[in-house]
Amino acid sequence: MKYTTLPNTDIKVSKICLGTMTFGEQNSEAEGHAQMDYAVANGVNFFDTAEMYSVPARQETYGSTEKILGSWFKKTGKRDEIVLATKIAGPNPNFTYMREKNDFSPASIKFALDHSLQRLQTDYIDLYQLHWPERKTNFFGKRGFESQEDGWEDNIQEVLETLESFIKAGKIKHIGLSNETPWGIMRFLNESKYNHLPKISTIQNPYSLLNRQFEVGSAEICMRENVGLFAYSPLAFGVLSGKFLTGESHPNARIKLFPQFSRYNSAQCNEATQRYSEIAKKHGISLAQMALAFVNQQAFVTSNIIGATTLEQLKENIGSIDLVLSDEIIAEINAVHAVIPDPAP
């Protein structure tokens, strides 16, 4: 395993992070425990979850993933060996079952944080993230920004002050954002700088061979402001494993089970994936490991969040850390990207 440092901290984290959103939906508690056992045995010390998991979010499984992590911590006693990241959900009219108001008010943050701590059976979170913005902006498969009246009043200073209070109380160590735009990242950085408030360590956004939009704007911010990308969906819901190119049926794949997540299911994505697959075959490597290694090698990436539903998949994904892509392979990847740039929004 390779390790890096969580920006603005002295915390060492594995370059591969175990994503857990399938625990409680596609994976049972026993399977989730087995994945965590395997990941730790192979050097992974970074786990990511969220209060709304498992995915797709629904009232019946709300908090199920955090509960599975909590039972593993209790069983193994390894909480202090793990750098634990979780998230508070932002506004969504479908998530009223989570709490009275899905916002980032002091009361909502306190409620969400305390309940996450209970489910996780811990008294602190290493990295607490805002899952998506309160304001309406372009995220979750929406490529461009459209001006709209959303009633949002800038409360970023108050949000940081609230998070600071929980840092002082020992419930949170560090903070991060998720599904944020360059504007949002800079607003948080400016508030922390000019008001002497906690600085974000990471931004968790999608990043893969099918979606490199982070490189436009946000990557420069990360490099210049010492913020790390916490990359999610590096295999594009399994599309970049190449399994959908064979013509075989995969009824239990995420993209088949949850057709509402359709960003990776397009003719352009299929064409780009086919071309990337040809590069992998030419060089005698697996497409999945090539896709993950590409993310691992980016200088602005702090950790690559990999998810799996089987131990076989998990083994291959973690093994990508040992693959270093040559300049020739990178050039060939970039040639495809130039022709079919960011087919998945």
**Residues assigned a catalytic role:** 53
**How far lies 152's CA from each of 7, 195, 204, in Å?**
29, 21, 22
Alpha-carbon span 345 to 341, nearest angstrom: 10
Cis peptide before 259 (omega within 30 of 0): no
For 217: left if phi > 0, alpha if psi spans -120 to 50, otherwise beta; the answer is left
With CA atoms as reference, report the closest residue to 128 among 71, 190, 170, 185: 170
Placement of tokens 């786990």 in the chain: 47
Interatomic CA distance for residues 216 and 332, integer angstroms = 20
Structure tokens at 337: 């990207």
The two tokens of residue 223 are 């490099």
Bridge partners, residue 46, by sequence: 83
Distance of alpha carbon 35 from alpha carbon 49, whole angstroms: 14
